Amino acid sequence: MNDRGTLEVHPSVVRKVAARAAGPGASVKVTGEDDYVDVAVRLALPYPVRVRAAASEVRRAVTEEVQRITGYRVRGVDVTVSALVSEPRSRVE
Fold of the 11-84 domain: Alpha-Beta Plaits (3.30.70)
Q: What is the DSSP letter of 25?
A: T
Contact 81, 20 (CB under 8 A): no
Domain ranges of the chain: 11-84
pTM, entire model = 0.86
Model pLDDT for residues 14-59, shown as the tens digit of each residue = 999 999 999 999 999 999 998 999 999 999 999 999 999 999 999 9
pLDDT, tens digit (0-9, with 9 covering 90-100), for 50-74: 999 999 999 999 999 999 999 999 9
